[in-house]
A and B are shown apart, each in its own frame.
Chain A
């Protein structure tokens, strides 16, 4: 997507800089064979994992809420490719994809979904509340928008320590209307915190379309009044995400403060498992699936460039299915937490 010209405000001086001009947005990263294959595999793992999670939910193994990431895979996979060791990730409740992308194991995540002791939170967190200190994944937060302030705090810690790590705070188009998001933007801009705000605009906040909830629908410009640059990204194309991630990371690491990336993406499944999806048409969903699917795009390129044969891709598919099947077996056979866990981890 080409950057839009910033509108000129006639006769008035503004202190906030026009946000977009330094950024190209719309760039497509050139992937080599390994990158294409890596992205394909990572996205496929998330998709197959989520399909399996949906199935286990249907069988009663997973309880409560379960928000699937199917359709949005390119966002986390592309962004993760732009990071380095020590960079932190935090997100909301649609978090399984983020966890797998940061390298958390399918077993640990699936076992948490089923509430078993081998889960990342030992069965005490569930779908929406999972963490991995080792992988610098800070949750997994069930309160819409809370992770934006927390992610800003992670960035604060990086600046305080004087390291050059960045923090990625993911949130949706729905959370983008929460007040604390703007409180955080303001502090991050004021203190030049290395925070990348990634708005995953999947067009629907639960069942409310963007247009019905947001007076301004260009989320990349939500920080423009306080000088936070931002641009829109084709969140269905992992190469576009990676290119945007590279630009954003470079901006933050070099001490220029926060940046906003609006990832234009789409979730195929309902908001949660019990969503009948009456707020959008089947055609709309089908069109996204058939024309913009992030995994099919990579698959088509791999075949077209001769970088992988159908058999190669089948082998990857089998490998991924095996990992997912293994995680599902583990998540069903692993015992529930010991009853003594009821009273552990409340205070240190």
Chain B
């Protein structure tokens, strides 16, 4: 059966074009790859190559014809043993009646818009495991808790390894990996060159091959060099592969402001990473959460961003002495029960919230504090339950104010619990400036306890 050659689309947006020139005439033999015509689009002149072999039986569109619609038959190709008499029975190559679903859809925008968009699935996160009565509580720093979490997981699974700058012989720039080289050796505690983009990619590749890398960034400020690998490779591969392969990897390190390290070393990335589907984002405050959540992150089959804080490294908290203390990612923790207003915070933001609660108690205001712990997936139900009780909400974080985690919480609480709110939600964040170096300016750029106290008083109309 003769084959119809159709007007091709040569870009994602082309709908028609000018058939400017035929390079073959009727009776010419063509083989695959031969240029048979030139067509002109709004962007360029392009060549049309033959796909099938045969003899040009008939040119259906004259050279110079304008506005030839995509998928119009422009010529008929005869196969071995066929003659011009067979042209009437030409079959489009391939089935024209099914051609161009995209174009068909474009004509029916209403129908398309009406197609139901499936709802985003809701997932249930289990509550924290109960700590058996009589469990010994050990006071330890966040630093020690993080190291213990890694050491325990490395003992349990040979596929877990840690890589990053100064993690091995130097014992960690902030001593989080102290002792790991001695226990696990250079195979599993890998010093990298200063090459964030490269080693982030190497980590993701190793994870795609099934290993469980913990990639330490000396600070998340340096991870900006690696953010393409974190987002485009780690976060998206599971989706792009239709679930075939993903990247079970933890990116961890200090995040946010430390002290007097100025603009390039003082940024909080909680909101940045929380924007990305395919990532989990954890930002603990206490040592127990740091330990339980890092262990969970290392076991998680998904890429997890684990945001620590240099100032919190030295803070001490009680940690239950259990063989395997693992906490659920995606579950907030009620740090303090209260009834008058809700403060939601996470990471070092909690230090302002906790101090503000003490001040407010003196004023007779009893606040509930929720430590979000995980930024993505966000445990909004716990926040909303609290807001239903208190009717007032203040968020606290050190990151920039625009598109912050607080503005996200405010939006969703407004949409889902509007009727329970007795006052506008207030968001306390860092100021909208690069972090200054001067001590007095740096202090001004960060949130402070007074601001949190004032915000809570405002939402309580006091």
Contacts and interface: CB of A to CB of B under 8 A. Distances in A.
B191 to A, nearest CB: 10
Interface stretch (A9-17, A19-27, A49-57, A238-246): A49-57
A64 B12 contact: yes
Contacts of B46: 274, 276
Contacts of B199: 149, 183, 187
A150 B233 contact: yes
Interface residues of B, number: 75
Interface stretch (A91-99, A130-138, A247-255): A130-138
A153 B204 contact: yes
B115 A339 contact: yes
B208 A150 contact: yes
A125 B93 CA distance: 26
A52 B209 CA distance: 32
Interface string B96-108: 0011111100000
Contacts of A329: 94
A58 interface: yes
Nearest to B246: A348
Interface string B108-125: 000000011110110000
Among A119, A140, A149, A276, residue most surrounded by chain B Cβ atoms (within 10 Å): A149
Contacts of B278: 346-347
Contacts of A157: 205-206, 209-211
Contacts of A274: 10-12, 14, 43-44, 46
B9 interface: yes
Interface stretch (B170-178, B235-243, B312-320, B403-411): B235-243
B103 A60 contact: yes
Contact of A149 (B120, B205, B237): B205
Interface in A290-307: none
A62 B51 CA distance: 16
A162 to B, nearest CB: 9
A262 B203 CA distance: 26
Nearest to B47: A277
A63 interface: yes
B93 A345 contact: no
Nearest to B99: A59
Interface string B142-186: 000000000000000000010000000000000000000000000
B462 interface: no
Interface residues of A, number: 77
A55 B209 contact: no
Contacts of A51: 32-33, 49, 51
B59 interface: no
A160 B121 contact: no
B232 interface: yes
Interface in A27-64: 47-48, 51-52, 54-55, 57-61, 63-64
Interface string B239-255: 11111111000000000
A154 B98 CA distance: 42
A333 B97 CA distance: 12
B240 A124 contact: yes
Interface in B1-34: 6-12, 14, 32-33
A261 B43 CA distance: 37
B302 interface: yes
Given A131-B245, A160-B211, A61 B206 contact: no
A151 interface: yes
B82 interface: no
A289 interface: yes
B95 interface: yes
A63 B11 CA distance: 8
A325 to B, nearest CB: 8
Contacts of B33: 51, 70, 268, 289
Contacts of A156: 202, 205-206, 211
B381 interface: no
B434 interface: no
A125 B120 contact: no
Contact of A63 (B12, B120, B187, B208): B12
A146 B201 contact: yes
Given A63-B12, A153-B208, A328-B94, A124 B239 contact: yes
A271 interface: no
A121 interface: yes
B435 interface: no
Given A51-B51, A160-B206, A150 B8 contact: no
B243 A60 contact: no
B229 A149 contact: yes
B197 A55 contact: no
A192 interface: no
Nearest to B243: A345
B233 A141 contact: yes
Contacts of A343: 118, 120-121
Contacts of B238: 345-348
A316 to B, nearest CB: 14
Among B242, B243, B245, residue most surrounded by chain A Cβ atoms (within 10 Å): B242
Given A120-B242, A131-B240, A340 B118 contact: yes
B211 A59 contact: no
Nearest to B70: A60
B452 interface: no
B24 to A, nearest CB: 15
A132 B11 contact: no
A107 interface: no
Nearest to A325: B94
Contacts of B205: 90, 138, 149-157
A47 B33 CA distance: 10
B298 to A, nearest CB: 14
A33 to B, nearest CB: 25
A186 interface: yes
Contacts of B233: 141, 143, 146, 150
Given A153-B207, A153-B208, A187-B193, A60 B101 contact: yes
Among B71, B210, B233, B377, residue most surrounded by chain A Cβ atoms (within 10 Å): B233
29 contacts: A55-B8, A58-B8, A58-B9, A58-B10, A59-B70, A119-B242, A125-B241, A131-B240, A133-B244, A138-B205, A139-B240, A140-B240, A148-B201, A149-B200, A149-B202, A150-B202, A154-B205, A156-B206, A183-B198, A187-B193, A274-B43, A274-B46, A276-B43, A332-B95, A333-B98, A345-B238, A347-B280, A347-B302, A348-B246
Question: Lowest 6 A-B CB distances belong to which pairs?
Answer: A153-B205, A149-B201, A58-B8, A183-B198, A60-B100, A157-B209
Given A58-B7, A150-B201, 18 more contacts: A59-B70, A65-B12, A121-B240, A125-B240, A131-B240, A138-B205, A146-B228, A150-B202, A153-B204, A157-B209, A184-B201, A187-B199, A187-B202, A273-B10, A274-B14, A339-B118, A343-B118, A347-B280
Interface of B: 6-12, 14, 32-33, 43-49, 51, 70-71, 93-95, 98-103, 115-118, 120-121, 161, 187, 192-193, 195, 197-211, 228-229, 232-233, 237-246, 277-278, 280, 301-302, 377
Interface of A: 47-48, 51-52, 54-55, 57-61, 63-65, 70, 88, 90, 119-125, 129-133, 138-143, 146, 148-158, 160, 179-180, 183-184, 186-187, 190, 268-269, 273-274, 276-278, 289, 325, 328-329, 332-333, 339-340, 342-348
